[in-house]
Chains A and B, each alone.
Chain A
């Protein structure tokens, strides 16, 4: 997860932020004013300062906020002046917007506020729908309004051109005042809350900002988005009473508190109406005590009443924003805030500390316990880190006075800092009574007033433990609880502090307790887990301690009060969930923990990996092998290898028609093959008309094992070169996911063994990705690009690497980047395995969790009839009323499953408005009939309509990949390097998912993830980018035209300007790949184009030459080798879509090659050969290398 911030204000009005990886509150020093309240989103934070104005702090990002202003200059021809600014009286203004209806002289463009600056002056746009115009940028037409062309014709009477100017938001990372409105100035603001970013992604960065004024009025800020972070104006939303506080969640929940203590809920909030339509009332949780504070998330509402009790609202969701009932929660708070993922923060009434609600998950929204955030503020670190140190080494998370002596230094620290001088590091409320229904509660709830409970049980921690050591914690409550209690026992005669309840428990649990933790682990292994603050089993110890284990010594906490007193907290920008590892609750100062955190933080190679001792061992072992074995290979082995068989039951997609799944026996026989390599044979035993038969495959002939997308079965396919030619693999299905993974892991290891392939992919490796998102690598041999007889690419062996990606790019230095379906960027850690690979088939230290999110789409189809209008009753011949995009398959909301059992739903079905062709306000698209082209508005001829529903699903796996936050990407490219080149920093370019062009800085072998993004300005969004040798950077823009970036070099990594290169006639390009000298593009109709006439002095080239059709994607390597994903390839048994193909006959003098060789497929989506810089062996075949007739293949003379 990317690093995000929790914001808080202390009682003195100082603003602090706490990073999710941080260990101290950072004072926001550029806040010159004191603040009353803050409300955060991920990209910004809003606040009310003591001058009652609203301030905005937009977080700096590598992507600037840049807004393109444009205006049109219109001219008409007259016989006297030619084209001139003299227009007819009926014409539009001389300067206008695109429609001509709006008068827009250049001078009318003003910066919206002092936070903006102009990037440059106005300039003419010389690009018309992907085609370059003449120098002046004029486009011609017969009359306004009309279709404009770039050519002047005899009847062109009018012309216009477009002027552009960019403005940039400059007040990043500072608190910029929102200018107050001239008209109808609201009275001073008293509360503010932002949210609503999940309602709609359009426009990008949209936010809802609600504010309350001192008079109790409610205001809504209009038009906040990425390009307009300040919004435009305040609109009053009259409430039914006087509002004192308001809260807006990430979704469509907005609740407010009325002065009398009742609550109101905003209803009717939707994409089209973010302000909502009406208010509904909700009673205060407690009839006699009014509510003072409310906080909402996506599906939760929390409230605080005047007696500081905390309440959780049951049954809240967007269909029922009012929820169904209140539940009293433990704890006394003055305010509460709900952030991302419905995580909860609160400020305690008792000690004014910020508490985090632990254990909040989507299934348990109310969480488990409160836990105090106990990190120091910057500037006070020296003071508290020492005592925190002692706390840590004491191995417990209890507050100052429950000291367990451990090391000598501890005792000294204790003397310096009297107990209790630090913020309490863990005050956890028992989880058991967190669900007490309101009515019964008043009588049965224990009085929590005077003290902060100090309860040892902590279900969050036990979760942590069970995650790490499932086998161990199952040891049971009996063994676990003593471990807990031994740590609590204070050795300084403070046993009386503990209530009788827990004393009973201690004696009850028995066993001599030795609080010296350095010895503890000798006694009882569980205590070791206690060192992380881990206290096992929650339920039981909870029930024991829920009544009271309250410390009596709380008062002196206030006596030497040093800890911050907080007034306000906002987690709206803080992305954590119940699994996040946070350092907010303790310090990890022991070496191994620090080492770990270093490993987990830096994307570069960790010091341990490069340590001299490790190198020494690797080197000596290989020397030893040489010394002791190299000359004696002919000796007999002492132990002969025997055959080893694994059997199982599977289903097989039978070869003959009608194809169907049939039960088979599956067996792998392994034995030692020649040269000591393990080898094996795979058998599939089946019945054919009562007759027993079998099918077999030699493990050393298997080229790939591919998991296949199937929404109900766990299936994979086995290919051999023969089967690849047939386009008909052996398809098998296992009974369970586990079984399939077992088999896949075993077979993969067996295949790798038989080919002697171990460890991480080499730098030269060819990477590819299936449409399912599985990642494969193949180790190229030098014969792969050999001339004239390369290795046929159906013989390439592919092995799987853990993880899930949509796209992968690499270069020959071994730098590999990937992009997930959710546009997250990932960098390869150098490891292998992960996913279903376990143990030895996987590296250990560089495998991390990887998640991916994608949407599943289904269509709701309706037909119009004269009586009832559009209904879900179609004609008998019609498609299903709920279907997939083609209409051929029925897909209902309830019947549709995630794409494979690996995926789980993470959202509900929602109408998808981002469909090409546009939709109406309800998401419908209209057409005359099915299937047809759809448009987003209804006409008289439209008899059918459809709309798309989307539902997000999520996959969690592991693999050798580390996330590169925070910008989501849609394309990436890495400079392909020659085999021996030594480049210090490697150029990496990318396209953000919004189309921004980015250049990554600081990418080196040791830091393959680089350090920061440099934004490269463009006049329109891009969709593809590629950087070739000699810093040739090519991009494809959304309009389908290509661009060449000029003057890119080491010192000037981002280049200086774009050269526009028109697309091939009537085609829109979609992807580009640049090798050493070759530039290839693919257009939206599947044509592959080669750029003619590219020379060092004229790198833009001269024209496009058509090479092939049926191409989905192209990858050009550092040797100019050309590989594609072909759309359709016919095999002898079947047709495959998405097939890896290799261009044959590519030579320096013949960069376009001659024909295709077909490799693995179908179902492939992506390939990159940009790591393979292995020069093919030079074979001189004088008679055969006689060039073919030149004329046919040399480009025609370039016509610039």
Chain B
């Protein structure tokens, strides 16, 4: 029988094969070859694209290089979303590898945040964890941790050290048995067809009459359109880490097992592909 631990491992080691190509408008000294990489789904673009940068810098003149950014089919990719979320949101149901275009010019300030260094990513990541713990445990767990524990979480992610990360993250996933779950479930629901960045509200894992809330309950309240009514054609896919969990999956379990390292459950609602 497979164990829930295996889910954590599968989630952590999820990889998206990606092909990076340089934007043809960039000025190069010679033709840039595409660069192929397995990107960790749970990480962030700036953390894992050092090699990409190095690769393309080889063919460029230093003065033509500004801040690197990425784009997929015309959409600038937000570095502060986990890579898996970007993929599920924009590129699920497409042929692999994922073709990402690399830009070194014309940074789209209106769409993207600047990211001069990885310490910005770290700050973003840690603030997500803190926000999640505020929802889950009124910040008690994260506040009880020491600076080095915080560092361990970040280093675990940065260096792809599953054990190192989870040795600490385990504490963030605990809750008193008698409560049946966290105080609130930290989640974000992303949708492609909306200007709102994402939906994030307070939602409890357990209903007042002590029933466990499910993924379906969450969507019913937050995004009823995502659900398929009886007799209707299915319009939306609800993706978490590239899979579609059943709507009766308990939310608490999802939060413990399918959250990203930032401790949020990132849920992407994308239209069903029309073949």
Contact = CB atoms under 8 A, between A and B. Distances in A.
Interface string A526-542: 00110110100000000
B183 interface: yes
B208 A518 contact: yes
A749 interface: yes
A596 B7 contact: no
A632 B17 contact: yes
Interface in B1-46: 1-11, 14-17, 36-40, 43
A867 interface: no
- Chain A contact residues: over half helix, strand or loop, or mixed? helix
Given A621-B7, A628-B14, A830-B1, A637 B38 contact: yes
B179 A521 contact: yes
B249 A617 contact: yes
A365 B162 CA distance: 47
B140 A525 contact: yes
Interface string A803-823: 000000000000000000000
B159 interface: yes
B97 interface: yes
A532 B178 contact: yes
Given A407-B208, A591-B210, A635-B97, 18 more contacts: A393-B210, A469-B176, A591-B180, A592-B181, A596-B177, A609-B1, A613-B245, A614-B249, A620-B245, A621-B243, A623-B243, A625-B10, A629-B38, A637-B37, A638-B40, A638-B48, A641-B160, A759-B2
B43 A639 contact: yes
Nearest to A532: B178
A840 B2 contact: no
Most central of A589, A617, A631, A845 by chain B CB within 10 Å: A617
- Chain B contact residues: over half helix, strand or loop, or mixed? mixed
Most central of B7, B176, B181 by chain A CB within 10 Å: B176
A625 B41 CA distance: 11
Interface in A586-624: 589-593, 596, 605, 609, 612-614, 616-618, 620-624
A932 to B, nearest CB: 56
B150 interface: no
Interface in A711-735: none
Nearest to B50: A638
Contacts of A589: 210
Contacts of B37: 635-638
10 contacts: A591-B212, A609-B1, A612-B246, A621-B10, A632-B96, A635-B38, A639-B159, A760-B3, A843-B4, A844-B3
B166 interface: yes
A223 B103 CA distance: 95
Given A625-B10, A639-B40, A840-B163, A760 B17 contact: no
Contacts of A609: 1
Nearest to B206: A592
Contact of B96 (A532, A628, A644, A830): A628
Nearest to A530: B178
Interface string A1078-1102: 0000000000000000000000000
A99 B250 CA distance: 73
A131 B211 CA distance: 66
A592 B180 contact: yes
A624 B244 CA distance: 10
Interface string A622-661: 1111011101100111110110100000000000000000
A638 B38 contact: yes
A823 B248 CA distance: 43
A614 B257 CA distance: 11
A592 B177 contact: yes
A758 B163 CA distance: 13
A638 B212 CA distance: 38
Interface in B136-181: 137-138, 140, 144, 158-164, 166-167, 170, 176-181
Contacts of A620: 243-245
A631 B40 contact: no
A760 B158 CA distance: 29
Interface in A1030-1065: none
B221 interface: no
Contact of B212 (A592, A596, A616, A625): A592
A592 B38 contact: no
Given A591-B210, A831-B3, A468 B176 contact: yes
Contacts of B158: 639
A529 B176 contact: yes
B7 A591 contact: no
A612 to B, nearest CB: 6
B241 interface: yes
B73 interface: no
A529 B179 CA distance: 8
Contacts of B15: 628-629, 632, 637
Contacts of B183: 521-522
Contacts of B58: none
B258 to A, nearest CB: 8
A593 B11 contact: no
B209 interface: yes
Given A590-B180, A635-B37, A759 B5 contact: yes
Nearest to B2: A618
Interface string A835-877: 0000110011100000000000000000000000000000000
B51 interface: yes
A642 B241 CA distance: 26
B96 A616 contact: no
B242 interface: yes
B49 interface: yes
B7 A618 contact: yes
B144 to A, nearest CB: 7
Contacts of A522: 183
B1 A628 contact: no
- The 8 A-B residue pairs whose C-beta atoms are closest, nearest first, are A632-B17, A620-B243, A638-B48, A592-B180, A590-B210, A613-B249, A639-B160, A613-B246
Given A617-B249, A639-B48, A759-B3, A593 B178 contact: yes
A1192 interface: no
Interface string A874-910: 0000000000000000000000000000000000000
A940 interface: no
A184 interface: no
A468 B176 CA distance: 7
A104 B220 CA distance: 84
